[in-house]
Structure formats: structure tokens, C-alpha cells
Structure 1
Amino acid sequence: MKSLLKSVGILMFAIVIVSTSSNVFAKDKNAEYFKEYQNIVEDMYKTMKSFPDSGNVDLDYLNEMIAHHEAAVNMSKNYLEYNKWTKEIKLIAQDIIANQSEDNKHMEAMIKEIQDKSVGDKDKESQYLLEYSDILSNMYGDLMNLKSTEKIDRDYLNALIIHHKGAVDMFDLIIKYSDNEDLKKMAEKEKQELSSEISKMDMILQKTKDFKTHDLK
């Protein structure tokens, strides 16, 4: 009997040790994920803030939005690096990487086209940049003020919603200031797509108050 009790005690002790080690490992991985997320946001902000004024709001916007898309791609790659368990969110991340990388190729082509026949308007650009600066600062502040929930799924979605809303504000801004109909149509299309994604992510967060799946692989 004593031997049995001793064996049970050893087993329970081993379970506690494994469980504790697993929790420490999970917290370390969450911390690594969140630190890299903040680095991505910092890099995005510095890049989006540092573009020289081109004199043309269309060129300004395209350069800024490419950097914005690159941040979404990097945020999604960071998510997939640390979490491969939640299928619904994994698909969102994979779609963002594919779609926004493709959108960037299209915008890079538009930059070359616009540069060849660019007509500057410094007064319009000054007004545009004032509003853009507010959008960028607000988005950056909201992204950096996010606190880790120690759930990578939830942290990724919360950050992506803020990031998408910043893009929607930028879409509205270029639609307001641009005379390029192709660019405005592209912004309208992306606005609809990202607004739909925001609604989808909100629904996932609402229906999954506490993610039951593993956060880490």
C-alpha cells in the first residue's frame, strides 16, 4: 500500500512539474511573439513617417500604404511562427500574406505609372499630410498601447483590427484628395474587403471569449 501511495505521489509530482514547465514555456513564447509584434509596429511607424513629400498625394499614399501592407504581412507571419493551431485564424493570416503581398505589387506598378505623368499640388498635399499624420499617430498609439492577453490568437486579432481600421481611414483620405479614378476605385475595393475582415474578426473574438485551443505548437 505504501509503495502504491509513493508511486501515486511521484506521478502527481511529475504532472505538476510538467504542467508548470509547460506554462512557463507558453508564457515565454507569448512574450517573444508580443515583443516581435511591437518591433513590427515600430518599424512600420518609422517607415510610414519617413517618406519624403513627393508633391503628389497619390504617390505619398501608395508609398505609405505599401509600408502599411508590409506590416500586416509581417504581423501575420509572426502569428504563424508562434501559432498554427487555430484553423480559422490561420486562414486569415495566410490570406493577408497572399492578398496584401499581391496588392503591393499592383501599387508598385501604379507608382511607376504615376511618376511618369505626375502633376504635383503642394497645397493639396499639405492638407492631405496633416490628416494622414493624425491617422498614423492614432493607429500607432493604439497598436503600441495594446496589452498582451497571453493568448496569441486574441492578441493577433486585436492588433489586426486596429491596423485594418487605420487602413480604412487612409482609404477614405485618398478618396477625398485624389483625382485618380483608378486609385480611388482600388481604395474603395480594399475598404470593402478590410471592413468585411474587421467584422469577421470581431465575430471570432465575440464567440471565442476564451480560446480553448493551444496557443502554441
Structure 2
Amino acid sequence: MIDFKNINIMVGVAALFSTVSINSYGDGLKEVSKVQKERKYKLESEEKIYSVLTPLEKVVPDNLRGYKEYDEYAHSLMMSNSSQIFLTNDVGNNFVIYMIPHHEAAIVSSIGVLRYTTNPKVKELAERVVKIQKNEVKIMQNLLEQGELRGNENSEFLKKIQKLNEQKMDMKFYELLGNDSENVSEHYLKSMIPHHQLALEMAREYLRYGSNEELIKLAQKILLTQEEEIKEIELLLKNR
């Protein structure tokens, strides 16, 4: 049995500031790996080890400059697969191991857009994403740390979650160097649609296989809130 509380290995964002190389899910991640190798974001300590249980406030670097770096860092969080070391056959365990960095990426992107957008509706959306998903990350981390997500083994669930993530790795980087509010807002809105869609698909799969009551409620909430946010985003893009 893995002791998640005391484990001390490099996972997730560790690759962003160490010499650990990132293995990719496939060819679609080669560009992400290149970005990760080229950038070293300063966190609290270059030698500290981070995991899916690292408190969220310690995950976001303090030296990101420009929306482009927020976007790159968010992609790196979500696409890193070094958390594979934590995977078991437990459905709930595997769900949160994929969903935690997915949420963290949305939070980082939202923090980035809040710095540079002047659009009040985009700001309101981003603030809501940060608030809701921060709380959900804490819930998932608590369940993982307390060992509440074991005892429901199904290897088929892991295969489906991995396949979903492989299929959704076509999100585009923010290519513009500037921080123009309109361009930043447009990229954020467009990138959040496939990002939310992946969360919805993972939540649906968990509801098919999962058994933890608290995680079932969380998955149901993801379906409710993120389906509504996709509609909101599509309307914002339409009315630009």
C-alpha cells in the first residue's frame, strides 16, 4: 500500500525546476517537453520535491512574466505524466491523480488572464474558476492523503482516463508575445473549452466506475458547473 502522506518522490511540477526529464504521453507532447526543458520556474526552493499533495499555494511560481508564461506553465502542469508513479488500480485514486493537475492548470491560466484582461466578464469567469477549482483540489488532496480512495479497483477505468488525456493534447499555446487584453482573453476562452470538456469526460467516467460518495458529489458538481461555463464561454466568444 502506498503511503501518500509520507512519500517523497519527484512528480508533477517537479520537472519544471529540476533536471528530471518529462516523459510524454505521445508525439503531441514533444513541444511541451521542449518548453519544460528550456524553462526553470523558481518556486520556494529549487531542491524541494513537489507532489500531487503539495498545497496549491506552493505550486504557482512567483516569477511568471507575461500571459505566455502562465499559459506554458499551465500546459506543463496538466501534461506532465511523472505522476504515473502514484497510479494504482483504484478508480478514485487514479481519477484525482489526473484531475488535480488538470484543475491546477485551469487555476494557473485563470490567474494569468486576471493579470492582463480588462474584460469584466472574462474576469468574473476566471475568478469563479479559481475559487471553485481551488476548493475542489483541496477536497481531492484530502481524500487522497487520508487513503479514502482505495478499495475500488478497475484497470479499465485507468485505460479510459489515459486515452481521454492522450486525445485532448491538441490544445494550442499562446503564441503572441504581448499581453494585449483582447488577445489574452480570446486565447483563454478558446483554450478553456477543450480543457473543460476533458474534465467533463473524466467526471462522467468516474461516475460510471467510482464509489466514493464525496468524490461522486465532486464529479457531479464538475458536470454541472463546467457544462454551464462552456455555454458561458461560447456566448462570450460569440459576442466579442
Question: Given the two structures, how large is their TM-score scaled by the length of structure 1?
Answer: 0.71
Kindly tell me the number of residue pairs found equivalent between the two proteins.
Answer: 172
1:174: which partner in 2? 206
Give yes or no for contact 1:33–1:78 (8 Å, CA) kept in 2.
yes
Change (3 A) 1:199 1:159: same
Query: Deviations along 1:34-61, whole A, 9 cap, x unmatched?
Result: 3541332123110476353223110111
- Sequence identity of aligned pairs in percent? 22
2:166: which partner in 1? 137
Distance (whole Å) between structure 2 residues aligned to residue 133 and residue 54 of structure 1 = 13
Could you say which structure has the greater relative contact order, defined with CA pairs below 8 angstroms and 6 or more residues apart?
1
Give yes or no for contact 1:51–1:63 (8 Å, CA) kept in 2.
no
Change (3 A) 1:153 1:47: same
Give yes or no for contact 2:152–2:210 (8 Å, CA) kept in 1.
no
Could you say what the CA RMSD is over the residues aligned between the two structures, in angstroms?
Answer: 2.4
Distance (whole Å) between structure 2 residues aligned to residue 169 and residue 178 of structure 1 = 14
Give yes or no for contact 1:56–1:120 (8 Å, CA) kept in 2.
yes
- Give unmatched runs, 5+ long, in structure 2: 1-64
Change (3 A) 1:135 1:64: same
In the alignment, structure 1 residue 88 sits paired with structure 2 residue 121: yes
1:60: which partner in 2? 94
Mapping for residues 54-133 of structure 1, pairs under 5 Å: 54-83=88-117, 85-113=118-146, 115=147, 118-119=150-151, 121=153, 124=154, 126-133=155-162
Give yes or no for contact 2:78–2:101 (8 Å, CA) kept in 1.
yes
1:145 deviates by 6.8
Change (3 A) 1:47 1:98: farther
Give yes or no for contact 2:77–2:102 (8 Å, CA) kept in 1.
no
Higher gyration radius (CA): 1
Distance (whole Å) between structure 2 residues aligned to residue 176 and residue 116 of structure 1 = 18
Secondary structure (helix, strand or coil) at the match of 2:225 reads helix
Question: Given the two structures, how large is their TM-score scaled by the length of structure 2?
Answer: 0.64
Give yes or no for contact 1:58–1:174 (8 Å, CA) kept in 2.
yes
- Give unmatched runs, 5+ long, in structure 1: 1-30, 209-217
Larger helix fraction of residues: 1
Give yes or no for contact 1:44–1:68 (8 Å, CA) kept in 2.
yes
